[in-house]
Structure 1
Amino acid sequence: MRQLPKKKVTKIDPRKELSPYLNHQINQNKTRKKEAKKKVSASLSMLHLERRKSLLKGAGSIIGVSLLAIIGLGYYISPLANVSSVQVKGATDIPAEIVVKNSGIKASDRVLDYKFHQKTISNELAKKYPEVKNVSVDISHLNRVVLNVHEHSTIAYVREGKVYRKILSDGNIGRRKLRWSEIDQSKPLFIGYNQETSFKDDLKLFDSLPADFRDQVKVLSGSTKRKSQIILVMKDGNLVVGNLSTFKEKIKYYNEIRAKAGKNSLIDLEVGAFSRPLTASEKKAYGIS
Structure 2
Amino acid sequence: MKKRRIKVSKNSLIFLIVFIIVLIAYFGSSLSKVRNINVKGVNDLGAQQVIDATKVDDNSILLNVLLHHKSISQTAEKKLPSIQSLSFKTRNLRDLTISVKEHPTLGLIAKNGGYYRIIKNGQVINQKMNAPIGNYPIYSNFSGKRLNKMSNIYSKLPNNVQTNISEIYNAPTKLNPYRIKIDMNDGNKVVADMRTVKSKLKYYPGMAAQMKQKGVIDLEIGAYSYPFNDKK
* Same structural fold, with TM-score higher than 0.5 when normalized by the shorter chain: yes
Q: 1:13 maps to what in 2? A: none
In the alignment, is the contact (CA less than 8 A) between 1:191 and 1:222 conserved in 2? yes
Choose from 4, 13, 19 the match for 1:70: 19
Matches within 5 A, 1:190-205: 190-193=139-142, 195-205=143-153
| Equivalent residues of 1:80, 1:142 under 8 A apart | no
Give the 5 Å matches for 1:64-213: 70=19, 73=23, 76-80=26-30, 82-90=32-40, 91=42, 93-105=44-56, 109-168=60-119, 172-180=123-131, 183-184=133-134, 186-193=135-142, 195-213=143-161
Partner of 1:220: 168
Q: Would you tell me which structure has more helix in proportion to its own residues?
A: 1
Is the 1:156–1:187 Cα contact (8 Å) retained in structure 2? yes
Shift of the alpha carbon at 1:144?
A: 4.4
TM-score, length of structure 2 as denominator length = 0.72
1:39 maps to: none
Name structure 2 gaps, 5 residues minimum.
Answer: 1-11
Q: Does the CA-based 8 Å contact 2:116-2:126 persist in structure 1? A: yes
2:190 pairs with 1:251: no
Q: Give SS of 2:208's match.
A: helix
Cα offset, 1:167, TM superposition = 3.0
Question: Which protein has greater RCO, CA pairs closer than 8 Å, 6+ apart?
Answer: 2
**CA offsets, 1:150-188, max 9 Å, x none?**
3334343222243222334676433432222x611x332
Task: State how far apart, in whole Å, the 2-side matches of 1:152 and 1:253 are.
Answer: 28
Would the aligned equivalents of 1:131 and 1:175 in 2 still touch at CA under 8 Å? no
How far apart are the structure 2 equivalents of 1:258 and 1:95? 37
Q: Which amino acid aligns with 2:153?
A: L
For residues 175 and 149 of structure 1, do their structure 2 counterparts lie closer, same or farther at Cα, with a shift above 3 Å needed? farther
Query: Aligned with 1:240: secondary structure?
Result: strand
How big is the shift at 1:256?
4.8
Matched residue pairs, number? 214
Aligned-residue RMSD, C-alpha? 3.5
TM-score normalised by the chain length of structure 1: 0.60
Q: CA separation in 2, counterparts of 1:219 and 1:200?
A: 16
Give the number of the structure whose alpha-carbon radius of gyration is greater: 1
Equivalent in the alignment of 2:4: none
